[in-house]
Chain A
Amino acid sequence: MEFSLFAQQLINGLSLGSLYGLIAIGYTMVYGILRLINFAHGDVMMMGCFFAFYGIMIFSLPWWASFPIAIVLTALLGILIDRGAYRPVRNAPRISALITAIGVSFFLENLGLVIFGGRPKGFPRPDIFAGIYTIGDVRFLGLSVWVPLITLALLLFILFLVYRTRAGRAMRCISYDMETTRLMGVDVNRIVAITFAVGSAAAAAGGIMWAMKYPQINPLMGVIPGLKAFVAAVLGGIGNVVGAMLGGLILGLAEILLVAFRPDLSGYRDAIAFGILILILLFRPTGLMGEKLPE
């Protein structure tokens, strides 16, 4: 394979991978502190895309206003889901919480189908991201470069939040021992709400970039990216924010490179993630950067 083609695929892989990573951060943070697979996370991402879409289409906001508003709204949605569905089952057996999460996921998907309709909608791509650049033989979409950069900025922000703020310290405490943290006077419910807000906001940011990349959205768009992002979180070591990003990048690169090198196998693209998941759980269940053993 020529170098230029390889470089092009590398850029595509990096940008897809950072999107998986951004979505995976929400999974990993929630799982880290609640031991709950937030099945609805991909659908929260979908809602974020629709918020942004309607912000532009109905309220005719410019993209730089619509996108941040959509992200904030999605964060609020995350808090609402936690408050309405997950908090009531917090002390129930973990399987009950998991079933609730599946219920929320289906609820959002079907609500989306009812409200937004099942037909895919074209997502606007602002001019700043739409340019096509050429360096040597390598041609790429401006978005493919913006995505990893924005992702990096968001990742640094989240890392700052988790490791340098009081709320972040409380999050890390809860992930070790929720009860003791509560006894130390931390308002656990508030911290969990913050976690959901941050995770959902990251998902919305990832989702909006995803929507610009394939420029269309539909109410079921969150399912597959959601599952793959979860795999990315497990691959990186669940509970570990940097690991989630790393897992996302590996997964994105693996998918793009498979399609590039073996186009005949491209139909199996969606199966790679689960193949990786099964292998990682068999041979290194803690993931690449995880410390704690999954139960």
Chain B
Amino acid sequence: MALDENRRRNQIFSIVAVACLFLFLWSMHLFADDYQIRILNNIGLFIILAVSYNLINGVTGQFSLEPNAFIAIGAYTSALLTLTPAEKEMAFIIEPIIWPLSVISVPFVVSLVAAGIVTAFFGFLMGFPVFRVRGDYLAIVTLGFGEVVRVIANNTQTITNGPLGLKGLASYTNIWWTWGLAIFTVFFISRLVRSSFGMAMKAVKYDEAAAEAVGINAFWHKMLAFTTSAFFEGIGGGLLAHLITTISPTLFTFFLTFNLLIMIVAGGLGSITGSVIAAVIITWGGEALRIVEEPMDLGFVEIPGIPGMRMVLFSFILILVMIFARQGLMGTREFSWNGLQNRLLAWKGRYLKAG
């Protein structure tokens, strides 16, 4: 009974929190300038990507490096589906696009779902060879798949338009899409993690042999995490394509994976809350850090801007996090209303006893 009420209360809290977020987004929509909207979009997008990447790397503990491949597949799928036949004919100047793609054009939302499904399917296929190996080998093989996808995108002229890429996509993606899907992703993945499937994934992470011994099929739970992750990365890819409106194979290098990796490591491998916080801080902080790349005038001395310095700092931060704060921000802990309540009560007990 009390448990039920507690749950009701927490649900109401969550709904209120989401409503507050939407109010905030609405006010941003009304008053913010393009640059701020862009950062908001990036944050929402990176929440989707980081949280879904964290599912396979953090929650299931299978350290893999393939998100750039998944994002590429999702982006191309979605972009090829929303472009109109006329636009495609214009874009594919070297060789015409192959048949079924040349006539299809669907609404954005359908293309996003398709991007998710197609990417999940590729993830599923990729999972069979990939999960025959573990540890560092898994990392390298998935990294290899990322490269292979990029090489294929570069060479299949009749499908992806090769190195020319796809230009002039409609900018459908706005803060409602990115943040709406970000909330959906967080909700879906945290439910999954708390379900029996999620428990099994964690068991696989901590001790695969022991998990197998109590009857958990490690392979299929890895596959579930991988495919789910691929699904959301694919959707993220679709959003990305219609956010920046131009995609080409050079966009989907390991660099993209590296950004996500910093986020989930800094947030704490295995913590959804951590991934969300890190996605916000790092995306926003990355913009704020542009300062180091611009010339600085300190009055008495002028420091010339150093382009590219941000990435040096980011990689340095990653090394420092690994050496000094291996748990990241949150470790494997998660935010919960009960946890917050306990914190507040403890705080009240400590400081407000007299009152």
Contact = CB atoms under 8 A, between A and B. Distances in A.
A95 B140 contact: no
B141 A106 contact: no
B137 interface: yes
B312 A281 contact: no
B214 to A, nearest CB: 22
Which label, helix, strand, loop or mixed, suits the secondary structure of the A interface?
Answer: helix
B331 interface: no
Interface stretch (A58-66, A130-138, A178-186, A263-271): A263-271
A247 to B, nearest CB: 14
B12 interface: no
Which label, helix, strand, loop or mixed, suits the secondary structure of the B interface?
Answer: helix
A281 to B, nearest CB: 5
Contacts of B84: none
Given A92-B326, A106-B315, A285 B261 contact: no
Interface residues of A, number: 44
A150 interface: no
A27 to B, nearest CB: 11
Contact of A98 (B139, B147, B254, B258): B139
A274 B144 contact: yes
Given A98-B63, A267-B154, A267-B155, A275 B316 contact: no
Interface stretch (A1-9, A110-118, A197-205): A110-118
Interface residues of B, number: 38
A110 B261 contact: no
B129 A282 contact: yes
Contact of B145 (A37, A100, A231, A274): A274
Nearest to A271: B151
A268 B315 contact: no
A295 B135 CA distance: 7
A209 B306 CA distance: 31
Nearest to A264: B155
B319 A107 contact: yes
Nearest to B258: A106
A141 interface: no
Contacts of B133: 281, 285, 294
A100 B141 contact: no
B105 to A, nearest CB: 28
Contacts of B21: none
A48 B291 CA distance: 31
Contact of B136 (A37, A270, A271, A278): A37
Interface in A235-286: 267-268, 270-271, 273-275, 277-278, 281-282, 285
Interface of B: 63, 129, 132-137, 139-141, 143-145, 147-148, 151-152, 154-155, 254, 258, 261, 265, 306-309, 311-312, 314-316, 318-319, 322-323, 326
